Amino acid sequence: MELEHSQAKCTKKLLPVMDALEVLNGKWKLPVIIALSFGARRFKEIVRQVGITDKMLSKELKELEMNQLVQRSVYDTFPPTVEYELTEYGRTLHKVIRALGEWGEKHRERIMRKK
């Protein structure tokens, strides 16, 4: 019976992590979110800052919008100005990104010491 209880606990912990990874999957979503964490950006600014292709950025921004992490604003100018920024919900990822960055720095140091 203990094994079933452990499996249930594991599944309960695993499912939310899998959900988060599903939303943040791929090479580009976190770099785009990090770029937008410094304020609203126009499309080409994100392309240059992140080093991503137009096509891939378009795809990633649509998925981030769908998951309510990024907001697209179109301004009535000529030509129209379009900016992207993190939503309040998207800003809740700051702690997660900071923790990943801290872990990544320690991991890099550890691996570099072994070489």
- Report pLDDT for 10: 86
Mind spelling out the 3-state secondary structure of the chain? Answer: CHHHHHHHHHHHHHHHHHHHHHHCCCCCHHHHHHHHCCCCEEHHHHHHHHCCCHHHHHHHHHHHHHCCCEEEEEECCCCCEEEEEECHHHHCCHHHHHHHHHHHHHHHHHHHHHC
- Report pLDDT for 6: 81
- Report pLDDT for 1: 43
Domain that holds residue 104: 2-114
Q: How many CB atoms lie within 10 A of CB 100?
A: 14
**Counted domains in the chain:** 1
- Report pLDDT for 9: 86
* Ranges under pLDDT 50 in the chain: 1
The closest of 48, 38, 52, 50 to 91, measured between CA atoms, is 38
Q: For position 105, which CATH number holds?
A: 1.10.10.10
